[in-house]
Structure 1
């Protein structure tokens, strides 16, 4: 069951997601098959080399990709990840911007792609994913 954000909670494009709050994800935009988020670098997100951990990168990609997929109906649809393929190009050592696009939406499955760029616009990671779209019972 999806949990809608209340007035005193961070709204991740309509939903309350405590895990994303923990990561420090900042929702920026979600409309017209596109979603943009930011993830400021924080000490609890880094690995032993001081770069943002790959798991944190994959988490924010997964969310941002799924948000692009539900951008047509922000709180009427929730998403379940079917698969996700991620490629890492460079270490994430600064605040990050994540941009995702829904490239195809069928009746119950959508396909999305996205990327993470650092503060200098350097490509850090990119991903493709497919999601099962689930109707939310309100």
Structure 2
């Protein structure tokens, strides 16, 4: 496990999630107001017809939103966990990268709500996710 006690970097936060690291998620930007990461299309992450599997896209969104929620924790709190996630898939991704951008919609004492958009390399919307994280 990565030590994040001295102010974690984006790479350190993502590294605390072995599943996401195993998927090959790359950190692009990591600030409280915006977290961006991406996942490369790979054949072993696809479903029928060469489309990136929805579960892979949801994992990308969940991890990116979790880091965004973590960066917006109230003082003295140590973490969050997902309690609700709603995904709308609007198109398939069959090549390139899926880039997730997460922004906080609400940063309260008990819950943090994060919105994530996933776009392809051309900037076209692939999925939209709204997620609620409970503050631990």
How would you bin the TM-score normalised by the shorter chain?
A: 0.7 to 0.9
Q: Tell me by how many angstroms 1:34 deviates.
A: 1.3
Matched with 2:86 is: 85
Question: Which structure is higher in helix share?
Answer: 2
Q: How far apart, in 2, do the equivalents of 1:68 and 1:129 lie?
A: 11
Q: How far apart, in 2, do the equivalents of 1:79 and 1:41 lie?
A: 28
Normalising by structure 2, report the TM-score.
0.84
Normalising by structure 1, report the TM-score.
0.82
Structure 1 gaps, min length 5: none
Within a 5 Å distance, the mapping from 1:41-52 to structure 2 comes to 41-52=41-52
1:49 is paired with a residue whose SS is helix
Task: Kindly report the root-mean-square deviation, in angstroms, between the aligned alpha carbons of the 2 structures.
Answer: 2.0
Q: Does 1:22 align with 2:22?
A: yes
Structure 2 gaps, min length 5: 5-9
Q: Tell me by how many angstroms 1:72 deviates.
A: 3.5
Q: Tell me by how many angstroms 1:11 deviates.
A: 3.1
Matched with 1:98 is: 100
Post-superposition, which runs of at least 4 consecutive aligned residues in structure 1 deviate over 6 A?
Answer: none
Q: Tell me by how many angstroms 1:42 deviates.
A: 1.4
Residues 126 and 21 (structure 1), Cα distance of their counterparts in 2 relative to 1, 3 Å cut: same
